[in-house]
Structure formats: structure tokens, C-alpha cells
Structure 1
Amino acid sequence: MSGISSSLAFGGKMFSLAITIFFIVSIFRVYKGKPHHIEALDEVTDFLNEKLRPRCKSN
């Protein structure tokens, strides 16, 4: 049983590391002015864009 719990802890740490790296890369991309796109959120974005007026990008 201790093998399962230790592998779950390892998996959780690896997931946390991957999410942290993704977050840092995303911050740098947005800071450089590149578009930030997450495909899984497309439907939610489309729904919100229909209900709310998106803010215009200022140049």
C-alpha cells in the first residue's frame, strides 16, 4: 500500500511541476505580446464573447 501512495505523491509533484512550467511560459508569452490560446477553453470563450462585449485591443 505504501508503494501506491508514494507513486501518487510522485505523480502529484510531477503534475505540479508541469503546471508551474506552463504558467511561467504563459506569463512570458503574454508579456512579449504573443497571443495566449488554450484550445480546451474555446467553447467557453465563444460563449462569453457572445454574452459580453470583448475589450478592444489598444495600439
Structure 2
Amino acid sequence: MKKLSRNSLKTIKGSNASICNGCPSQNIYGPGPEYNGTCENYFALPDYCRERHCVGVSISCFRD
């Protein structure tokens, strides 16, 4: 096996893909008008958006 340099690794197709592609990372979710989305919207997101912390969410969404 041959070692690849960092510069070579950067040229591999797909190497620069963001782990948050397809997630609305500009939104912040929580209760109230100061948030872009509701807590319900947050929990409706795909698992990979929530598990990778691609979106912001208020702690209030996790309180009962």
C-alpha cells in the first residue's frame, strides 16, 4: 500500500463533501418567535442532521 499525501487526498472525489449536506444548518430550533423552527420541526429532521449536530437547537426542546 502506498501512502498518499494530504494534497493527493484533497483531490479524491467526494473528499470535500460536508457531513451536513442536506441539513438546514442555518436554522436554530426552539420554542418562541426568536427561533427559525419549532422543536417539532427539529425532531422531524433526519437522524444524521441531529446526530452530527448540524443544526442548532435550544435545550428547551428536551425538557418535559
TM-score (norm: length of structure 2): 0.28
Q: Which has the higher contact order (CA 8 A, sep 6+)?
A: 2
Q: Which has a greater percent of strand?
A: 2
TM-score (norm: length of structure 1): 0.29
Q: Which has a greater percent of helix?
A: 1
